[in-house]
Structure formats: structure tokens, C-alpha cells
A and B are shown apart, each in its own frame.
Chain A
Amino acid sequence: MSVPLQTDIHRSMLASVLIGIGLMAGVDEIIFHQLLGWHHFYDLATPKIALFSDGLLHSAELIVLVAGFFMLIDLRGRRALASTAAWAGLFIGLGGFQLFDGIVDHKVLRLHQIRYGIDNLLTYDLVWNASGAALLLIGLLLGRPRAGGRPG
């Protein structure tokens, strides 16, 4: 029973990156759409094809969250979970999604903006993307290879 198995760093990180992406997408949906009502279920300007890309993204978020948790439970069960790598992955997932949403969705594809009817959208964008970058940086620092070894 107590065979010490080698931890699986890559899989640990991948599992928690997926969870981080799914969590941040959920936070976005619940806090900004539902609670604050800053942006909405549908913007009048959204073309049909963007609705489909939105649907694909939404579907991916839901599935990666479930997939990540199952991988994590599986790793724990096999005693192969590398906890530092998993924490690093979580922050990379959270920050990476926040940045992706802030730059690609908001600015490149212009699916929606953070908030409407305000003058200082730039400030909102800067705060949004800076917080994403900070989370991503924490993840990258946690996950960087240590001297003479790998993160674990």
C-alpha cells in the first residue's frame, strides 16, 4: 500500500491550470455578470458568429474545470500530486485566463467590455490586466525550476 510513488509534476501542474482557468471563468460569470451586472448576458452588438465562439469558450471552461478536478483527485489517489507545482498551475490558470479574457476577449475580439456607461474604461482594463499579470507572475515564480532540481 505504502509504495512511495514518484510525483508527476507536469500532470499536477496541468490539472491545476485547468482548474484555475475554470475557476476564473466562473468568477467572471458569477461576480461580473450576475452580482455586479457590469456586463451582460448578451450585448446588442454581438454578431452571431461571436455567439458561437462565446458558446465554445463557455463549454470549454465548464469541461476543463471538471477535467482538472478529476485529474487532481486521480493524482492524489496515486500519491503522485506535486503540491508546489499544483499551486503554481492554479495561479497560472487564474492569471492566464484573466489576461486572455482582458486582452483577447475584451480588446481583440471585442466580445464585451468590463463595464459600460463609464468614462475611464482604460483604468478598468489596466486593473483587470494587471491583476491577471500579477496572478500569472506568482504562478510562474512558484513553478520555476529550483536550483539543482525541479519544482515539487
Chain B
Amino acid sequence: MEHAAVHAPAHADSVPALLFPALLLGLYAFAALRPRRAGRRWSPWRTLSFALGTALLGLALAPPVVAFAQADLRGHMLQHLLLGMFVPLGLVLGAPGTLLLRTLPIRATRILLAFLDSRPLRTLIHPLTALVLDIGGMYLLYLTPLFVLSAHDPLVHFLVHLHFLLSGYLFTWAIAGPDPTPHRPGPWLRLGVLFLGTALHATLGKLMYAYGFPRGTAHPPSEIRAAAQLMYYGGDVAELLLAIALFTLWFRRVPTRAFPGRIDDRHALPGSD
């Protein structure tokens, strides 16, 4: 029994973990497919994006990937890239906040918007806060003994993964999320933060490659270098997509061509138009 318990957790944790993306997608689909009294139907592209996000989340939590991540630093990095960058991109571009707002009763919507407009929330969803939480968290994990701690302590491990997912979502939303974001800074500041974030992510990849971070693990140097390169190039792809998302939002709002009237950047709901 003792012996079995050592190997069981990866799988035992993974099955309920897979229910989470399925539940997310189910709720989203329920809201998206609900018949509407007025207004247009929900964009299938948004649904597709969100479905891709949940599918990648399922992949990141799938037993073979979890096992790969435990054995090999490249596996960990794959999981990290999925959870922290690609899953959030899919979810955020699915505009779940907009869907939620149009699904909830009007009173709940008002409460939610007031909550988003509160000072702590405003500070939290500022791109600079998101940058510190997201990229700062990565520096903390890989350059300090936190990584070794997370490899040995299941609770810390879980919290680190949750942090990646949430801070990745926050960063993606703050930079290029189509959901309504009260008091969102202008596109130049968001572009500047994306620029800095991309540079810091690339720098971290090279630091890990050059100086053999994370330290104190049993992973051979060649594996660490391969993982660092995966982080560097994988991050490039995610940041390229994020830049495309930001510019799509930006150029759609320029009131020169398609929109003769002025559109308020802060409160427009592109998913529901």
C-alpha cells in the first residue's frame, strides 16, 4: 500500500483536475448558447478561443504531461508555458467577462461592475501590477530556492501553478483583453508594458540558460539549457500572439475607418457588438 501511494498522487490529482477545464467550458457554452431576447448571437470565434484555452488547460493537467513535468525540466517548462501563457490567451480572448455580464441579471451586473471599478481591483488589473505578479513571479520561482521547495511540497507546487494561471490571465487581460476594463490605461502604456514583459521573459530564459537556473535540482545542465530555450522561444510565440491581440484591439478602436462615431475604449464590449 505504501508503495502504491507514492505513485498514485499524479494520477489521482489529475482526474479531478481535468474536471476543472471541462466545467469552465460547460459554463461558458451554457451562457454562449443561451437564447437571447435581443442582440446578436455570441461570436463563434470567442467560443472557439475559449474552448482552445480550456483544451490546453486540460492538456497541461493531463496525466502524461504531469508525469513528464515531474521527471524532466522540459516537461515542467511545457506545463509552465501552457498554464501561464497559452491557456490565458485562449481564455481571455474568449471574453468570458463580457459573456458573464450579459448573462447575469442586471442587478448582479451592476454589482460586478462596481466591484471591478473599486480601487483595489483597479490597482490589481493595472498592467504594471500584472507585470510584476506575472513576470516577477517567474523570476522568484526560477532564481530562488522556491523552485526546489515547490518540487517537494505538493501544496506549494499547487499554489505555484495556480499563481501562473491567474497571473498569466491577469497579464493577458490587462494588455489585450477584450472584456470591459474600467479605467484601463491607454494602448501606448499597455504596449510599453508588453515590451518590457517580453524583454524580461527573454532575459530570464537566457539567465537560466547561462547560469544554470533553477539551482539545487537533480536536472543535468543540458536539460536545464533545453528547458530555458523552450521558455525563450515558447514565450516568443505567446508574446507575438499577445501583441497581435493588442494591435487588433487598438486598430479597431481608431475611429477613422469603420467607426464614424467615437467609441469609448474603456467600456466598449467588442464581443457583444
Contact = CB atoms under 8 A, between A and B. Distances in A.
Interface of A: 41-42, 44, 46, 48, 51-52, 54-56, 58-60, 62-63, 66-67, 70, 73-74, 77-78
Contact of A59 (B202, B247, B257): B202
B247 A66 contact: yes
A46 B210 contact: yes
A78 B258 CA distance: 10
Contacts of B251: 70, 73-74
A100 B194 CA distance: 24
A101 B104 CA distance: 54
B256 A56 contact: no
Contact of A67 (B200, B201, B239, B247): B247
Interface string B236-273: 10011001100110110010110000000000000000
B254 A74 contact: yes
Interface in B200-249: 200-203, 206-207, 209-210, 229, 232, 236, 239-240, 243-244, 247-248
Interface in B137-151: none
Contact of B247 (A48, A54, A70, A78): A70
A105 B22 CA distance: 49
B245 to A, nearest CB: 10
The majority secondary structure among interface residues of chain A is helix
B198 interface: yes
A62 B229 contact: no
Interface of B: 191, 194-196, 198-203, 206-207, 209-210, 229, 232, 236, 239-240, 243-244, 247-248, 250-251, 254, 256-257
29 contacts: A41-B209, A41-B229, A42-B209, A44-B210, A46-B210, A51-B203, A51-B206, A51-B207, A55-B199, A55-B200, A55-B201, A55-B202, A56-B199, A58-B199, A59-B195, A59-B239, A60-B199, A62-B236, A62-B243, A63-B194, A63-B195, A66-B240, A66-B247, A67-B243, A67-B247, A70-B248, A70-B250, A70-B251, A74-B257
A42 B206 contact: yes
Contact of B199 (A42, A44, A52): A52
Interface of B is mostly: helix
B206 A63 contact: no
A73 to B, nearest CB: 8
B240 A62 contact: yes
Contact of B207 (A48, A59, A77): A48
Contacts of A63: 191, 194-195, 198, 243
A137 to B, nearest CB: 30
A46 B211 CA distance: 11
A66 B210 contact: no
A25 to B, nearest CB: 12
Nearest to A66: B243
Nearest to A74: B251
A109 B195 CA distance: 22
Nearest to B243: A66
Contacts of B254: 74
Contacts of B196: 59
A33 B249 CA distance: 33
